[in-house]
Amino acid sequence: MAQATFSFSLPRRWLAQARDAVASIVIPAPCRLCDALLNHSSRIPICRDCLGGFALVPEKICAVCGLPMPDAAEIAGEGLKCSACRLETYSFERARSYALYEGHVIRAVLMLKFERIDPLAKWFAERLAEIYSQNQEILEADIVVPVPLHRDHEKERGHNQAELLSKPLAKILKLPHQGVLLVRKRPRPAKLVLTLRERWAAVRGAFETCPGSQVSTQSRNVLFSAILKCPPWVVGRDTFVNS
């Protein structure tokens, strides 16, 4: 006769369920995205349904920038490339994203940018680490670097949202984090909404290496962390050469 086995995971699960039940009664709070009451204790003010419902990037994407290309015809032996990448518009090697910049993702990113919700940043970093693992052959990097804000903009906001992502991402990937490797020498235009052309004009030539910054000769592949609207990427790799 088989003996019943006791699972130590059951008490932990019961305790977690009890904790969530108490938290939902004692400290009721709505999800910041859908207004449904949160029925679990978490430092992320977003319900599990909304976190699990972000529109993910489809499988058929540009091999370089990761832009979704759901209707593109594939050619045997050739990777898909969007029109911009066929013209070699971008200087980076590869870029990949976790989710499309639409719907609830926009609101979650705005919370991250303007309210500095570190647990939400860590959650996004974990998702980016999954994307990195799935694409490690093309994204493999030696260091992680956040794309910086201009010093005036960062002083006004109080933080750089890209660095909120890059620090936990580097820790998960067990890679060095270099938060001061790059500086933004030209601020973003004061115009509230920029067109795609204006957005690219604003970042082209706007960054440089921080004076005196060096990376080892073995650390040439850099994983950049950023939050951009279009193309919808959040991590990209490039090759860094000491000047």
- Per-residue pLDDT reduced to its tens digit, 35-77: 998 877 778 899 999 999 999 999 899 999 899 998 888 777 7
- State which residues form the domain around 199: 31-239
Q: How many CB atoms lie within 10 A of CB 89?
A: 12
At 122-145, the pLDDT tens digits run: 999 999 999 999 998 888 888 898
Between CA 186 and CA 144 the distance in angstroms is 22
Coil, strand, or helix at residue 185? Answer: coil
Is pLDDT of 160 > 70? yes
Q: Is residue 15 a part of any domain in this protein?
A: no
Is residue 24 domain-resident?
Answer: no
CA–CA distance, 135 with 130 (Å, rounded to integer) = 9
What total number of domains does the chain contain? 1
User: What is the mean predicted confidence (pLDDT) over 16-45?
Assistant: 73
Q: Would 187 be classed as within a structural domain? A: yes
Q: Is the pLDDT of residue 226 over 70?
A: no
CA count, 13 A, side-chain hemisphere, 135: 24
The answer as to whether 7 is a domain residue is: no
Question: Which region among 14-18, 39-43, 90-94, 112-116 has the lowest average model confidence (pLDDT)?
Answer: 14-18
Angle between helices 118-134 and 161-173 (to 10 degrees): 50
Task: Identify the H or E element spanning 94.
Answer: strand 94-96
pTM summary value: 0.79
Residue 241 has, within 13 A of its CA and on its CB side, a CA count of 2
Say how far apart CA 139 and CA 141 lie, in whole Å: 6
